[in-house]
Chains A and B, each alone.
Chain A
Amino acid sequence: MNKIPNRAVMCEVLKEAAARDRNLVVLCSDSRGSASLTSFAEAFPAQFVEVGIAEQNLVSIAAGLASCGKRAFAASPASFITTRSYEQCKVDCAYSNTNVKLIGISGGVSYGALGMTHHSAQDIAAMSAIPGMRVYLPSDRHQTRKLFECLVRDEGTAYIRLGRNPVEDVYEENAVPFEMDRATVLSEGTDVLLVGCGEMVKPVQEAVGLLREQGLSAGALDMYCVKPLDREGLLKAAEGKKLVVTVEEHAPYGGLGAMVAQVISACDPKRVINLALPDTPVITGTSREVFEYYGLTGEGIAKTVLRAWKE
């Protein structure tokens, strides 16, 4: 049972990078604890900026720093950094072409019973709609490390959503298949294709096994790079399949499912089912309870796929 959340891995990579690159700076909005960045602030006080509970300021200050040559990593709850600071993300980061990495911590329904104010179920849609903004949702701690090792070196802006809780490993520590902006093939299959991102990748992986037991051969993709979506990888994996099923911790509109459906309908038309959170404030509960209620678990996904397969 893994006990290390992805955000803690992010902090480790940022500390390693900050030690060799004094231009790497981290900004928080009274969020260093929830972002697991307290040890960064302690180790690199000259490369850390606290802005208080002011997310718009957080993003604009990060952009100002970046315009002067800094690699700015701004971390704040995903719900706030994306929608409260949306205009700053659009204008000061993407439009102005500054090297700001926007880290949405406690993404999706990580905050569970705290309710809709603290859930980020619109972030993929919102951030993907900004020209020049990349959107990444890493699945496990190992992929998170690989992704951040790339992000600390690149020059563009991006939004990265991380969950709050530790998630089960999808990959083995020393054998993590990773290529920047390329979906990772979790399994090959012949009947259906499952596509997941972020915390939904582990249940997708579990669903593949459950479907196999039922005689259904499922291919699966970890589409951590929601934007730029790996169209080529998607079309290759979808080739010959009768059904594509997307799974995301997001509202049903404008997210991974919508983007995958766009590509499939244009290039290789076939049935696409989007599994997501509903278009309502989600039911109160821990994220685990919420996922179970809406069928966003390995079992829930397998059940939906089997039903659709038989239709």
Chain B
Amino acid sequence: MNALAIKAYDLRRDVVDIIMAGGGGHIGGDMSSMEIMLTLYSRMNVAPDRQKDPDRDRFVLSKGHCVETLYAVLADKGFLDLEEVKAKFSRFGSEYIGHPHNTLPGIEMNSGSLGHGLSVSVGMALAGRMDQRRYRVYTLMGDGELAEGSVWEGAMAAGHYKLDTLCAVIDRNRLQISGSTEDVMAHHDLHARFASFDWHVIDVKDGNDVEQLNAAFDEAEAVKGKPSVVIANTVKGKGASIMENKASWHHHLPTPEEYGIICRELQERKEALCRE
């Protein structure tokens, strides 16, 4: 079994611990986006010892509220110290706040206000083109976030400038804080929407499957003359039955009892993967 798929469950446990230590976090989206961020960071040309390398790949977490997963992944990559994150997350005076901040190692841009990451990434990709560098730029957006009009300004510019080094990823978990994305503000056919902006669109049937995600990012890298978007169909709260596909877990602090249930199920699923 893919080691990354197994690691995703270890890091989910880290995320839950970070949230418990800090007294809150966006656990539902953290869980749905785990494999996306983990897979990206397994591919991206980034390393803690060359954070200013002009040729490094860039990642912008546009759905900044899923910072707990980013912290866990950055700790796994050696950018952050997990124990320090757990000790300080959301605490008074802490640099580990509830959204990404670029004074921390490995974080390129501040986010949290939705609908910014794609346009910022367009700027990063344009800079790469100006400097004739081949780094890739990734941004992860939530599906609820796509209701922000600025997303479509960025989509228009990326298509117009044929930014093939840019790859957007949509964590398509179909839930936002108030309920189903389609009930709150319907997206209809996201594939067709992005395609109409001159994007190469890749649908990933299971956005929590590392192999499917890797295949999608391979495909995106091979596309020339267009930006790519990976629509990753994920499960909100992925990892434990009590939180899966439940909008109420968008931002929910597990009770001690729920914490125990989640940890047990994460362990069981990890062991099941190990046996495959």
Contacts and interface: CB of A to CB of B under 8 A. Distances in A.
A66 B119 CA distance: 13
* Residue picked from A54, A66, A72, most chain B C-beta under 10 Å: A54
A287 interface: no
A116 B102 CA distance: 37
Interface stretch (B123-131, B170-178, B253-261): B123-131
Interface in A56-81: 56-57, 60-70, 72
Interface residues of A, number: 29
Interface string B132-149: 000000000000000001
B133 to A, nearest CB: 9
A48 B210 CA distance: 39
A92 B127 contact: no
A56 B122 contact: no
A307 B58 CA distance: 61
Contacts of A70: 127, 130
A54 B123 contact: no
How many of chain B's residues touch chain A, expressed as a range?
Answer: 20 to 34
A61 B123 contact: yes
A155 interface: no
Contacts of A258: none
Interface in A75-106: 87-88, 91-92, 95-97
A282 B153 CA distance: 32
A97 B157 contact: no
Nearest to B115: A56
* Residue picked from B115, B122, B126, B128, most chain A C-beta under 10 Å: B126
A6 interface: no
Interface of B: 54, 58, 102, 108-113, 115-116, 119-128, 130-131, 149-150, 153-154, 156-157, 160
15 contacts: A25-B130, A51-B157, A52-B160, A56-B149, A56-B153, A57-B119, A57-B150, A60-B119, A60-B154, A64-B126, A64-B127, A67-B109, A67-B123, A68-B124, A88-B119
Given A64-B121, A96-B102, A97-B102, 10 more contacts: A49-B126, A57-B154, A60-B122, A60-B123, A61-B122, A61-B123, A64-B120, A64-B123, A88-B116, A91-B110
